[in-house]
Amino acid sequence: MTPRGAQTPVTPSDPGDSLLQALVRRQWTHGGIDEIAMAEIAGRYGVSVGEVRGVVHFYAFLDDASGVTHDIRVSDNIVDRMAGSAELMALLARETGLSPGESRGPARLSFTSCIGLSDQGPSLLVNGLAMARVDAGRAAQIAERVRRGESVSRWPASWFTIEDNVRLPGRLLRGAFAPGEALGRARRIGSAALLDELEASGLRGRGGAGFPTARKWRLCAAAPGAHRVVVCNADEGEPGTFKDRVLLANHADRLLEGMAVCAAATGADIGLVYLRGEYRNLLDGLEGAISRLRAAGVIGDGFDVHVHLGAGAYICGEESALIESLEGHRGVPRIRPPFPVTRGYRGHPTVVNNVETFIAAAMVALNGPGWLREEGTPQSAGTRLLSVSGDCASPGIYEVPFGISIAEVLERCEARDTRAVQVGGPAGSLVPATRFDHRISHEDYSTGGSFMVFDDSRDLLDVVTNFTRFFTHESCGFCTPCRVGGALLGKRLDKIAGGGGTRVDVETMRQFAGVMRSASHCGLGQTASNPVMDLIEYFPEAIDARLCSMDYAPAFDLDAALREARELTGRDDPRAHLDRSEA
Amino acid sequence: MSVLIVDGREIEFEPPATIIEACNKAGVYLPHLCWRPDFSPHGSCRVCTVRANGREVAACITAAEDGMRVENTADDIVEKRKTLLSMLFVEGNHVCPACEKSGNCQLQAVAYYHGVTAPTLTYFYPPRPLDASHPDVVIDLNRCILCELCVRASRQSDGKNVFSIGGRGIDAHLVVNSETGRLGDSELDIDDRAAHICPVGAILPRRGAFQTPIGRRKYDIDPIDVAGDASEGET
Ligand SMILES: Cc1cc2nc3c(=O)[nH]c(=O)nc-3n(C[C@H](O)[C@H](O)[C@H](O)COP(=O)(O)O)c2cc1C
Ligand code: SF4
Ligand code: SF4
């Protein structure tokens, strides 16, 4: 057993493969991975069946069965809910006769975390392929074909059309160059000058944390290692974000060239793209771009790129969990330090950057640092792609200069009567109208690009409960505060939504949040209580109106506890229920 | 030699060392569950949370630095640990009076040390299985706190690979690496360290039960800051 993070030899031919990739392939070809397949794959990869089981059960898109022919997963992001995903689910369940989340047969129906189509919901995945704007008519057609058992490969291709919805292109989206142009200039000026230019450009990571890109690349270049690795983080899991989807679909060539530029700057020989499983429909396009760039000599000689697919795990967007996943393991974040730049993929120094970061880096390599500096603020150079969704007339992609105010974005997307904006996804901030003059920038509201708009018809407690459930579902389960704290927060929110909450519950949620923020092992747990805390701080009325007057009410709901007995006896009459006022 | 200042008291340590290693060598008790000196640090239970130079960190995975100021007994730190301990209790099914590990259990001992007696949070009551398929060892997952000491002991001491983790989030659980998933079909041997390392009553060697009566057990005699980690091979 090799300890996590130890250097293991990488042969040039295998960086495209791992246990996880074998499982993903098996899932596609056989509709699941049964015990026999697990044993066979365990043997092939030299691990125990128990470990294979552990991996299968970690990733939401892997099934420990076989022969699943129709796997329908409805996107559960709050914005999809607002567009009617709950009604869509009810219709599908009724028309197919399947129980959401419970079917064990060849056809299955369940909810899944945001699939990156918030601008065109309600959306769903069928056998991993995305479908947008699924209205009642389409849902009926889907159900009919599922009932007939018709293979998804025979469904009309037009059903799988995805819109780009680029509403406001800027310099990044408009930029273009011939294959090899950016890399050519990078090579001509040399890696030292390239890194200086990148630093002067002020480029900071677009994945959310905003780490200076040049500093990351320098650290990797300086770290000792037989190999160096460039990883593109195309996991785009933050609910409400979809800009990487549009970049991958339309600008994959520039992305790959950005990775090649990074390889030139750091001396890397291995390139990997970690593409979220939800974006499997983008795989062929990405592979096509890889072939084109190999033919053009941009990659393939001394630095090649392979694509790995994720399998339904938000935590794999966290860079060290992503590396674990690339190695084929469960996506559990590593202990840091050491950071990936010194010990990353299979122990080798590794740069992990977001899709948008690599494209911006390619543009700087081509045009010099001024290209980015011409827009934005001193600490946040350039533009930012926002994924705008929710209550507005024109959801889609907006490329805006850093420093733009939230109010200006709302105006551009034609939002009216806005109560709140969730900036940066559930891990970010719930912003009230009194703060719409604040700006999108690293020095004010920093964001990975998610911008979800809620007007004054929305119940923000509902919104926050949806986000909290998301984190509970996506917690990797490694550390106590996030694993248990997230679930406890969810219970208190349900209690409040059900009208049984008190002040004590609000204080208890603060207590959980304090522990989750400071004691969690990674960013997921550290931010998972942000929605609840923002709600308490900025929208106390959304909670207070639901509290019952008592100071303390038991967290144990007697009536709910009787549910099992009711189901067993088939009773649901009033006398089979406990009235809370009597309890 | 470098110096660490723990609650105002200077202790010397030889770098490289984590904060908990430095404290342990100097005889300063720092509450913990998933850490043991002879295994690689894990960082999952978070009970060793301290404030180091103003930042809250897990002492088992944070390097001690010369001159670093560590707060181990500050009120807010202790409050956070109490919340973490309560979380571990309610997540599983811990009925201490009915558990044969009672008095030798490290979770119970750390909870007593910090004054956590009656959990204030809602219990989850998860349905968790018991595996009695092994002739010498029983696993009761109701009490597992996912410290992965058994996982590490099997791999790092026994040269085997009997345990892994399955599931995720609140459904994460210990799995046995055997074809059937049952302990009886695994390579676990009663002489393995993995059979005895469990700090709580989740992995229990058979036939040891209640040899030492309640009242005369390890933590009945001395509190954990004196008695130290749960012994291996005692129930
Ligand atoms: C729970 C979690 C999920 C994340 N998901 C993503 C993601 O989907 N895409 C991404 O680029 N970064 C994500 N990140 C940030 C990455 O860890 C990392 O900082 C980023 O990929 C670095 O690239 P950048 O410097 O170009 O932003 C996530 C972080 C956390 C803690
Ligand atoms: S904070 Fe959550 S996601 Fe991160 S390591 Fe802990 S349990 Fe896993
Ligand atoms: S069985 Fe015991 S040693 Fe193993 S993970 Fe659970 S609590 Fe830790």
pLDDT in tens, chain A (583 residues): 334 545 554 444 488 899 999 999 999 999 999 999 999 999 999 999 999 999 999 999 999 988 999 999 999 999 999 999 999 999 999 999 999 988 788 999 999 999 999 999 999 999 999 999 999 999 999 999 999 999 999 999 999 999 999 999 999 999 999 999 999 999 999 999 999 999 999 999 999 889 999 999 999 999 999 999 999 999 999 999 999 999 999 999 999 999 999 999 999 999 999 999 999 999 999 999 999 999 999 999 999 999 999 999 999 999 999 999 999 999 999 999 999 999 999 999 999 999 999 999 999 999 999 999 999 999 999 999 999 999 999 999 999 999 999 999 999 999 999 999 999 999 999 999 999 999 999 999 999 999 999 999 999 999 999 999 999 999 999 999 999 999 999 999 999 999 999 999 999 999 999 999 999 999 999 999 999 999 999 999 999 999 986 566 665 555 655 665 565 555 666 666 654 433 3
Most ligand 3 atoms within 8 A of CB, residue of B131, B200, B204, B232 to mutate: B200
Residue A235 CA, ligand 2 centroid: distance in Å: 17
Is A373:A381 a contact under the CB 8 Å cutoff? yes
Asked if A379 and A38 touch (Cβ cutoff 8 Å), the reply is no
Q: Which residue in chain A is spatially nearest to B160 when comparing CA positions?
A: A1
Q: Whose CA is nearest to atom 31 of ligand 1?
A: A523
What pLDDT does residue A3 have?
A: 43
A71 φ/ψ sector (left φ>0, alpha ψ -120 to 50, else beta): beta
Tell which residue, A36, A30, A41, has the closest CA to residue A71.
A30
What's the DSSP call for residue A290? H
- Token pair listed for A448: 């990975």
**Look-up of token digits 């106390």:** A540
Map out the domains of chain B with their CATH numbers: 2-73 (3.10.20.740), 95-227 (3.30.70.20)
Q: Which ligand is nearest to the CA of B147?
A: 3
Ligand 3 pocket mutation pick from B138, B141, B198, B235 by most atoms within 8 angstroms of CB: B198
- Please name the helix (run of DSSP H) or strand (run of DSSP E) that holds residue A541, with its range, or none: helix A540-544
Distance CA B57, CA A337 (A): 13
Nearest-Cα residue of chain A relative to residue B155: A1
Q: Which residues pair with A433 in a beta bridge?
A: none
How many angstroms separate the CA of residue A60 from the nearest CA in chain B?
Answer: 9
A480/B46 Cβ within 8 A: yes
Q: What distance in Å separates the CA atoms of residue B208 and residue B98, rounded to the nearest whole number?
A: 15
> What does residue A158 show for φ and ψ, rounded to 5 degrees?
-65, -25
Measured between beta carbons, which residues in chain A are less than 8 angstroms from residue B43? 335, 479, 521
What pLDDT is attached to residue A1?
A: 35
Lookup: tokens for A510: 């603060």
∠ Cα A561 A563 A567 (to 5°)? 150
- Quote the pLDDT of residue A524: 98
Determine the residue of A315, A320, A324, A474 to mutate for testing ligand 2's pocket, defined as the one with the most ligand atoms within 8 A of the Cβ atom.
A315
Chain A residues in contact with B146 by the CB 8 A cut-off are 477-478, 483
Measured in whole angstroms, the distance separating CA A409 from the mean position of its chain's CA atoms is: 23
Contact status, residue A402 vs residue A441, Cβ threshold 8 Å = yes
Residue A78 · residue A452 · CB < 8 Å: yes
Chain B residues with CB inside 8 Å of A3's CB? 40
Task: Tell the residue nearest (CA) to atom 7 of ligand 3.
Answer: B144
Asked if ipTM goes beyond 0.90, one says: yes
Helix (H, G, I), strand (E, B) or coil at A484: helix
| Strand ranges for A162-250 from DSSP E | 166-168, 229-234
Minimal-distance CA residue of chain B relative to A43 = B179
At residue B127 the predicted structure's pLDDT band, cuts being 50, 70 and 90, is confident
Give A488's Cβ-side CA count (13 Å radius).
31
Residue A303's nearest CA partner among A359, A352, A258, A342 is: A258
Distance (Å) from the alpha carbon of B45 to chain A's nearest alpha carbon: 5
Chain B nearest CA to A485, separation (Å): 7
Q: What is the β-pairing status of strands B173-176 and B130-131?
A: unpaired
Closest CA to A202 of A371, A324, A35: A371
Indicate whether B83 pLDDT > 80: yes
pLDDT score, position A12: 41
Q: Which amino acid is at B22?
A: A
pLDDT confidence of residue A583: 30
Whole-angstrom distance, CA of residue A199 vs CA of residue A212: 8
Q: Check CB contact under 8 Å for A477 and B146.
A: yes
Q: Read off the amino acid at residue A22.
A: A
Q: What angle do CA A399, A402, A408 make, to 5 degrees?
A: 70
CA-to-CA distance for A132 and A134, rounded, in angstroms?
6
pLDDT band at B96 (very low <50, low <70, confident <90, very high): confident
A101, A127, A429 from A533: Cα distances, Å: 30, 37, 9
Enumerate the β-bridge partners of residue A429: A423
Instruction: Check: CB of residue A200 under 8 Å from CB of residue A241.
Output: no
Kindly state if the Cβ of A235 falls inside 6 Å of ligand 1.
yes
Give the burial class of A230: count Cβ atoms within 10 A of its Cβ; 0-12 exposed, 13-18 middle, 19 or more buried. Answer: buried
Strand order in the sheet with B203-205: B130-131, B137-140, B203-205
Residue of minimum CA distance from atom 4 in ligand 3: B150
Ligand 2 atom 8, closest CA: A476
| pLDDT for res A581 | 39
